[in-house]
Amino acid sequence: MDRPKTFEVAVALIMGRTGKNKVSAMEEARDSYPDLFLEFSARMKAGGPDYFAALGIEGKETTFEQAVSSHYQTGKSKADSVKAAMQSHPEAYQKYLLRLRNGEHVRFDLNR
């Protein structure tokens, strides 16, 4: 695998490979590519652009747990909420499965 050209590309690659959210992927990229992180930090301090939006990484993404919780709050059962979230947020569901395969413990907060 080639070395990423920018910190944002490193984050995108880590997110795709591991299913981590943006913040967790940024932490891993910071540790794995400290030189790219320093360049990114200097660019941000100077008011320069970040390239996350260009890579399709928006600031706030809905996790599968959030999608299930929002369906559950409408009065659906737990099973129906999971099924509805799988249909309404397929990308979040795929990331959720990847996180489980990577051994992450996922907790659902289902408060009404």
In a domain, 108, yes or no: no
How does residue 98 score in pLDDT terms, banded at 50, 70 and 90?
confident
Q: Cα separation of 10 and 15, whole Å?
A: 9
Are 39 and 54 members of one domain?
A: yes
Domain count, the chain: 2
Longest CA span, the chain: 50
- Domain presence at residue 106: no
Could you read off the pLDDT of 32-68 as tens digits, one per residue?
999 999 999 888 888 878 787 777 776 666 788 888 8
Question: Range of 84's domain?
Answer: 64-101
Q: Does residue 46 share a domain with residue 24?
A: yes
Question: Would you say the pTM of this structure is higher than 0.85?
Answer: no
The answer to whether residue 112 sits within a structural domain is no
Asked whether residue 39 falls in the same domain as residue 6, the answer is: yes
| 67/71 Cα distance (integer angstroms) | 6
For residues 11 and 65, give the distance between their C-alpha atoms in angstroms, rounded to a whole number. 22
